[in-house]
A and B are shown apart, each in its own frame.
Chain A
Amino acid sequence: MKKWLFIFASFIVLVGCSDSFNVSFSDNESINPGIDDAFNSTYKSMDSQPVLLKSANIYDGLGGEFINYDLLLSDGKIIEINKSIDSNNALIIDASDKWITPGIIDIHSHMGVYSAPGVSTSSDGNEATSPVTAEVWAEHSLWTQDPQFALALKGGVTAFHVLPGSANLFGGRGATFKNISKNTIQDMKFPGAPHSLKMACGENPKRVYGNRRQAPSTRMGNMAGYRSAWIDAVEYTDGMNEDNIDRRPKRDLAMDTLMGVLNDEILIQNHCYRAEEMAMMIELSREFNYKITAFHHAVEAYKIADLLADEGICAAMWADWWGFKHEAYDMVQANIAIIDQARNGTGCAIVHSDDAVGIQHLNQEAAKAMAAGNRAGFDISKAHAMRWITSNPAKAAGILNKTGSIEIDKDADVVLWTGNPFSVYSRAEKVFIDGALVFDMHNPKIQPITDFDLGIIQPQNNRVE
């Protein structure tokens, strides 16, 4: 019934993460200084007042659990977590019997580049005209009025990483956004977040180009394509390091991106399903001396869980998607738990969505993955599993120093849930981004309505009331 959906889904796969990244950046620093000092974030947080959430239960996103604690937000930051906080100027919210988590983060989204409605004129996620399109940036396709952003916000998502699709070996750059719809793309960009480069293994590139009787049409063709591009990138990078400016090569957008990876400024998010292909991609990264941040989809990650833990590479996974293509056949529900528990619990597991419905329920997806892991013999707590949708994706997006956990001085990106977020019955009641209340389930005035939603069914109403 949804055959088109699977074809669509198979076009749009990718990502990756890592502990051993040391990407430093400030709000005003460009991603790749001297190369592409352009399109920087112009994000400004919405107005906020100090907020004191009283008597809450808190998962801090790092594995910690605080029962019956107060949380103070002010000036866009998390100020204090304590047993009993007083404030004479904060808005006080009774959070008793409710739960607080960091804002949910999705490391794999195509919102804005595959907007709703999913019509051909909004299909902007795959520049499927050449297997190497490292020159394109997903953010340049983003439609700021995509109604899917607001739906994700209702699911507690405060930041998301938008990637190009997986038609190409190198699909282009991904970028991270704060989940507040604004009228320019730069106004939504997460300040200082690094770019990523999407790479794709397996069936998709070889199918797309093989069907056109061009390379790659095989998995070995995929590998040759990556290696050829990296050879060029090494030469380009060496050339750009020439002291004599006249001997430097002419700027090349694709090579700029690959050079950014070689210089540890751009993070590799690698769509890859099969175990042996992920291992090959690791070997490829050794050959050309770059780092893979995360494998995305990674349906067979559990088969090489120790290798991923040793390499400090995250795996971003679904709880249970399978069967839509051959490389997604060996699904186990314990995949996320097995990655998490590898090498004495040092693995980096992420629950991702790659899907506009899934992104709204990442808490439920984490619940399924945790339960499956515990059924398989692990002992994983809810507080620990919360990392899979908060701090781990923040790490993979290179924004863990800003968000992804409830810690003092971090961005006040916080969700208040009606109940325990691992239950299907719990909903995001209030969502704060940089301390500003940006969604309130009880107040229609604090629920975003995009231009698209306005008067589109009945002129006097919004799309969904």
Chain B
Amino acid sequence: MRYFYLSLFFLLGTSLSSETVLLKGGLVHSGDGNSAIIQDILLSDNIIKAVGDNLIIDGNTRVIELDGLPVTPGLISPLSNLGIVEINALDVTRDDESEVLTAGFSIFNAFNPHSTGIPWNRSNGITSAISTPSPSRASVFGLGSYFILDGSLEIKGLKDIAMFGRIGATYGSRAETLSMLDSLLDIGRMLGTTPIQEILELSLVEKLDIQSQDIFALGKVVNEGLPFVLETNRAVDILQALALKEKYNLNLVLVSIEEAPMVLDRIKESDTPVIIDPMDNIPNSFDELGSSLELGRILDQAGIKIMFSTQRSHNYHLMRQGSGNAVAHGMSYESAIAGMTKVVADTFKLGNRGSIESGKFADIIVWDGDPLEPSSFPKIVMIDGVIQDLSSRSSRLTERYTNKEDKPSSYKH
């Protein structure tokens, strides 16, 4: 009911990309880590043209009064399966695993802009996301890509922007995992000096059935600074990851790192950004015994750049709740906002997105309340300056089942 009016309003109100819009008087969290202030945002041609007070506008500018509502950049999920997994338990709806490739596995061409997770997460404030392959038996399992979540078949984003891998308790010994990882990175390094045909004939490459795509991808990690996103938890494993970073000069991003407080100085010295799930304080494995709700605060106070993952697939917007809990335990508010926006964009070089600044693409959320409160929702979601429809399968089902007309639900539409 109310859903219906909201979505109708925004449908009619959808701005054309050429239209000039002034978002007037919002409490603007720019994403850069500074405190929010009441400001106006002027945008046209998909771009934020100006941010400030008393911006000069002409008569054709559409003014949207925000009356102090919180405004943030569109949220960016750094670790999702959006567009590549529809239903986890149904393999035929999953495109996140390869049986042939490891490091060279790219999910990019599998991305489905019509996946139901996209409008759902978009209506909850996620405007773009990195989608990643899922862990396999290999320590390195493939390349993630970045997608703008406007649902268009003209897929916008960046292909193969980061490599994903893992160290820790899985199969066999982590000593072997570390040794293999070292060998794989070394193979990537050889690519600079050795013909691919010679590398393919190496005994380890043949033994592990490594393909040329894998080798080229590893080459990008070692020789071209492609971000290498490594999940690990045990304190000593984090040190092993940092040693690999130093040895190969990796552009390392650490994920999960539940025992990071024990090696805090080393992470800080290495200037390594991290992705954490602030709500996961369960010692789920013997790698995660140090797990605690204090992780966000401890990393933040050390000045480490933090991004957020979520425990539950399909609801990447719940990183708002996660970062809210981190703030409840002492993380700074603006670090939480930055961790869902600008830190992701900077870490993964996502182009002109992730903050509310002149010249950036206008991915903007206007919230009905504090964006870190799980009970808040977006009122306006803007991608590339275009106001998005907030409907989803979920909102359609809600409309149908709050409609009290006396007829079969299949006729309520």
Contacts and interface: CB of A to CB of B under 8 A. Distances in A.
Given A367-B373, A376-B402, A424-B321, A330 B397 contact: yes
Contacts of A282: none
Interface stretch (A222-230, A232-240, A332-340): A332-340
A3 B401 contact: no
A10 interface: yes
B1 A376 contact: yes
Nearest to A463: B289
Interface stretch (A44-52, A83-91, A176-184, A356-364): A356-364
Nearest to B393: A330
A424 B324 contact: yes
Contact of A332 (B89, B259, B294, B394): B394
Given A6-B89, A325-B87, A377-B1, A425 B402 contact: no
Nearest to B117: A323
Given A116-B282, A118-B284, A423 B313 contact: no
Given A10-B89, A361-B279, A376-B3, A320 B311 contact: no
B325 to A, nearest CB: 6
Interface-central residue, B81, B89, B327, B328, by most chain A CB under 10 Å: B89
A368 B132 CA distance: 28
Nearest to A355: B311
A380 to B, nearest CB: 11
A121 B288 CA distance: 17
A456 B234 CA distance: 13
B413 interface: no
User: Which size bracket describes the interface of A in this complex?
Assistant: 35 or more
Interface stretch (B56-64, B203-211, B374-382): B374-382
Nearest to A457: B289
Contact of B401 (A6, A303, A326, A360): A303
Given A361-B279, A377-B1, A324 B398 contact: no
Interface-central residue, B309, B327, B398, B409, by most chain A CB under 10 Å: B398
B375 A329 contact: no
* Binding site secondary structure of chain A: loop
Interface in A311-351: 320-326, 329-334, 338
B160 interface: no
A187 interface: no
A333 B285 contact: no
Interface in A9-61: 10
Contacts of B318: 320
Contacts of B290: 457, 463-464
A117 B288 contact: yes
B398 A376 contact: yes
Given A118-B285, A356-B282, A325 B88 contact: yes
A372 B309 CA distance: 23
Contacts of A329: 87, 116
Given A151-B281, A320-B315, A371 B376 contact: yes
Contacts of B325: 361, 364, 424
Interface-central residue, A302, A360, A375, by most chain B CB under 10 Å: A375
Contact of B283 (A116, A332, A376): A116
A160 to B, nearest CB: 15
A323 B118 CA distance: 12
A427 interface: yes
A271 to B, nearest CB: 15
B272 interface: no
Nearest to A3: B134
Contacts of B231: 1
A370 B284 CA distance: 30
Contacts of B309: 1
A10 B88 CA distance: 10
A250 interface: no
B2 interface: yes
A464 B311 contact: no
B29 interface: no
A367 B374 contact: yes
A454 to B, nearest CB: 12
Nearest to A423: B373
Contact of B375 (A5, A330, A422): A422
Given A147-B283, A361-B325, A425-B328, A375 B90 contact: no
9 contacts: A117-B284, A118-B285, A329-B116, A332-B395, A338-B401, A364-B374, A372-B377, A376-B398, A424-B374
Interface of B: 1-3, 79, 81, 86-90, 116-117, 132, 134-135, 231, 259, 262, 279-286, 288-292, 294, 309, 311-315, 318, 321, 324-325, 327-328, 372-377, 393-395, 397-398, 401-402, 409
Interface of A: 1-3, 5-7, 10, 116-119, 147-148, 151, 203, 302-303, 305, 320-326, 329-334, 338, 356-357, 360-361, 364, 367-368, 370-372, 375-377, 422-427, 456-457, 463-464
Given A361-B321, A367-B373, A424-B325, 9 more contacts: A1-B309, A6-B89, A117-B288, A324-B89, A371-B374, A377-B1, A424-B321, A463-B289, A464-B290
